[in-house]
Structure formats: C-alpha cells, structure tokens
Structure 1
C-alpha cells in the first residue's frame, strides 16, 4: 500500500536493521522541567472513556504531540520527554491508555484527540504503545502528521529530539 506523504514512520531509534537514522540535535541546555511546573497538569477527559486522564505540557497553541502511554508504563520517562518538548514550545499530551489490544488503542487515540479538539498531531509510541500509534495511523492517516515508534531503551532526550524533528518536517493542515 502506498504510504501518504503525511505519514512519517521512524521505526526505532536504535538497534533495528533497516531503520531510519536521525541526526539528533544537541541536548537542550539545563534540566527537564519538573513534572508539576506551571505549564503541566493532570486533566480529566470527560469526552473519552479511553483515556481517563492525561498529562499536558507546553502552550496550547503549540504544535501537538501525543506521547501514547499504556497503563503499565512508567509516567516519569514520558513526563521528562514532555517537559523537554514543552520547553521548545510544543503542546504535549500524554494520555493514560487502558489495557486493550493495539487496534482498540488506536481507536482510543483518535477518540482522545477528538475529545481534546485536536485535528492532527505527531504520535509517539514507546514499546507496546508503538503498536497503538501505528493502529491510529492506519485508522485515520489524515489525523497523523508524523508517527514515531520508539524502542523501550530510548532516553527522554532521544524521544524529544526525534519527535521535534517530525513536527518540523510535518505537513500541517492547521
């Protein structure tokens, strides 16, 4: 099947043969913003049962990045990557997904961005949630500006650098 130009798939940051390589930007000066800074919040999502809450960081007018996190994954790495991206002016959303198969989680991710009124975003999935972001892209390609599937071993800095690269390369409608 012909991939649309709106879908950028970068399959793992390290360790897999045949994957795209990224030239990572130099590390940001300073430490990541704390999880509970003035721009961060844990918010309830009334419109979507799929993500009962989500972590948000960065200005709401920034380009949206969804870091998909399964319920079993630790929020700390996601919060650190979100803080690094928020410091660059991106609007980062980390929904806490339910326990389900990847196809259902893909539907949940689309329902989530609908519930927070985001027409399109860059989607990032780490480990198991990488399958969920792929399912979301398969379901609604027009809503996925960029897709990043990351290995479990990726650092928050690597995740932030790769996601920021996709945002800059993306073909945004809005």
Structure 2
C-alpha cells in the first residue's frame, strides 16, 4: 500500500466523526421543498456547472466532478440516460456541506469519458458496473456509498451485488436494476411498453440513425416523458445535452439497449461478470430504494415485489410528484437517503 493511500486511510478513520453529523445541521435547506432546492443550481443569475477532471483506467479515460474534502467519507453519484453529471448539481452541495468527498463521473459514452479501445464500445450492464470499480481503484477509494438512477442505479446495483466490500451502502432508484437478459424478450404490459418505446426503437437501424441525427431531440422527448411533472427550462437541458456530443454516445447507447433485449452479443471482457449477473445475485449491503411517484418510465411501487433481492437492511421510499430523475427533481430527498447511509454505514477504512 502506498504512503499516500495509507495516509488517506488514516485520515478517513480519524474523520469518522464527520459522518455522525446530524441531518438537522443542514438547517432549512434539507427540509425545503424540492422546487426550492432546485433554485440552488442558479447562483447570481447564472446556471451552475460542474467542473471536471480526468483519470485513466485500463479501459477508459473518465471525466468526473469531485467536491468536498479528500479525507471525507466517499460518495459516488451515478447518472442515467439521457442525462449527465448535472443531475447531481444540488445533491453535491448538500453532501459536501456534511463534509463528504463526492465523486460524480460521466458514464461511458457521455461527457468527457472516452473508451480507449474503439473495438469495445460496450453499453452492457457488466461494463458500466466494472467502470465504477475501475474508477474507485484509480482514485484509491477502497469503499464508498453508491447512489444512482437508471443506468447509474444499475451500475451501483452491479457493484453492490458482486463486490459488496466496495459498497458501504446503496441508493437505487426503481429498486433492483440488474437485468435478466434471458427474460428480456418476454412481453410486458402495454402500460409498461409505452414508457420503453425508445428501447424498441433502438433495436432497429432506423433507430440508430435517428439517435445519431437527433440525439438532443430524442433526449428532450425522454426528459419530458420520463418526468411529466418536472418543469425544466432550455438552459437546464442544454447544460446536460453537451454530454451527448461524446463520439462514443451512439454506439454505447445502441449496444446497451440491444444487449439488454438479447439482440446484441456481450463483449468477451465482461462474459464472466454477465454470467454472475444472470443468476440474479442478491444485494446484501444496506440499501435505500426510491421511486418517483410520477415516474414516466417505471411506475412507482411499494417495494415489496423486489424485497427478495435485498438480504440486508433495506428501506423503500416514494417521492411525491417526482419523475425518473429524483436527484435533480428532488435533491433534498435524494441527499437525505445518501446521508443516512453514510452516517450509519459500517466503514472498514
């Protein structure tokens, strides 16, 4: 172990008291309605943006935002499709106010994250899960609370299930998100298929061409359909839409949706991990699952249908009038879940 890593471990241990801070210390900010919290993204009349830095792994050059003290308890926040790191612009502020070290990476195919091997433009669940582990290794983070929604929630579930020693706690929107590829072609109720129209569209070459030509228009439609109660403005959308200009975007997105429906082969590097995921591994780490009551993709549930997939402590919460992107639509509620897991987590380092 390097001197730098040893020193970080010592500092993490000595700073354990940070995680015991009361949620009440956030004052009225944490209790404010989500609509009021969203205004924190605008400071001095200008929309806030998250700065990024780069780190290299064997497979990726990852763009990520980092905030908070280096010796704070680490939290990794993972965005979905078609979104970017700015889903967490307000959550970051709430978490750093508690003294946490917050990492928000662009997922593969988004923002400044680049895939090194252009013959391996995978979007499968094993790939995005492996990316999180590689990021943690590159940043010398032995364990963290992982939180995400959509693709990011799936990546967090993959790590929590297969590498539980790296995950102190999990926040997952829409509960258990590890996919059973073998059952992907099974028919779903029409009400569910309606919300997944784009996934069927992307199975076709017309869908690939459409995404290539109209990536912003498709993303805007999805934002509106996914979160019908969220009144985002043009500036907020455009801030995130820049992330879709990534040259790997179309290939990664198309492979993701074709692989999950069994219509594209996985990449050999992820075969062993996919075999483990195919067994539907149970998640044992402390978990808080969240549903937006107005989610236009996956209808909110009481959490009971997925209860068997969680063997550790698990809470399920519904957030009223919130859609598919809870961290941006209701940052206080999302941060609340993360803070609870950090504060109560059994940290080993």
- TM-score, normalised with respect to structure 1: 0.74
Question: What's 1:61 paired with?
Answer: 71
Question: What's 2:87 paired with?
Answer: 77
Residue 46 (1) aligns with residue 69 (2): no
Bigger shift: 105-114 or 47-56?
Answer: 47-56
Asked if structure 1 preserves the Cα contact closer than 8 Å seen for 2:81 and 2:151, the reply is no
Give the RMSD, CA atoms, in angstroms.
2.3
Shift of 1:144: 0.4
Query: What aligned pairs does 1:95-106 form with structure 2 within 5 A after superposition?
Result: 95-99=105-109, 100-106=123-129
Shift of 1:51: 5.7
Shift of 1:87: 1.0
Aligned residues: 147
Distance in 2 of aligned mates of 1:103 and 1:156: 28
**Bigger-Rg structure (1/2):** 2
- Deviation track 1:116-141 (CA, whole Å, cap 9, x = no partner) reads 00000000011232111001112211
Asked if structure 1 preserves the Cα contact closer than 8 Å seen for 2:87 and 2:325, the reply is no
Shift of 1:147: 0.7
Query: What aligned pairs does 1:1-174 form with structure 2 within 5 A after superposition?
Result: 28-29=27-28, 32=40, 35=48, 41-47=51-57, 49-50=59-60, 52-70=62-80, 72-99=82-109, 100-150=123-173, 151=291, 152-154=324-326, 155-174=330-349
Q: Which runs of 4+ in 1 moved over 6 A?
A: none
Shift of 1:41: 4.2
- What secondary structure, in the 3-state scheme, does the structure 2 residue paired with 1:45 have? strand
Distance in 1 of aligned mates of 2:130 and 2:155: 8
Q: Compared with structure 1, are the counterparts of its residues 109 and 51 closer, same or farther at alpha carbon in structure 2 (3 Å cutoff)? A: farther
Q: 5+ unaligned residues in a row in structure 2: which ranges?
A: 1-22, 30-36, 110-122, 174-290, 292-323
Distance in 1 of aligned mates of 2:145 and 2:64: 16
Distance in 1 of aligned mates of 2:90 and 2:57: 27
- TM-score, normalised with respect to structure 2: 0.39
- What secondary structure, in the 3-state scheme, does the structure 1 residue paired with 2:140 have? coil
Bigger shift: 159-168 or 124-133?
Answer: 124-133
Q: 5+ unaligned residues in a row in structure 1: which ranges?
A: 1-24
Distance in 1 of aligned mates of 2:61 and 2:170: 19
- What secondary structure, in the 3-state scheme, does the structure 1 residue paired with 2:148 have? strand
Asked if structure 2 preserves the Cα contact closer than 8 Å seen for 1:66 and 1:122, the reply is yes
Q: Compared with structure 1, are the counterparts of its residues 28 and 126 closer, same or farther at alpha carbon in structure 2 (3 Å cutoff)? A: farther
Q: Which has the higher contact order (CA 8 A, sep 6+)?
A: 1
- Deviation track 1:77-133 (CA, whole Å, cap 9, x = no partner) reads 212111110111010100111141222111110011001000000000112321110
Asked if structure 2 preserves the Cα contact closer than 8 Å seen for 1:145 and 1:170, the reply is yes
Asked if structure 1 preserves the Cα contact closer than 8 Å seen for 2:80 and 2:153, the reply is no
Question: What's 1:14 paired with?
Answer: none
Distance in 2 of aligned mates of 1:124 and 1:57: 16
Per residue, is there more strand in 1 or in 2? 1
Distance in 1 of aligned mates of 2:80 and 2:108: 7
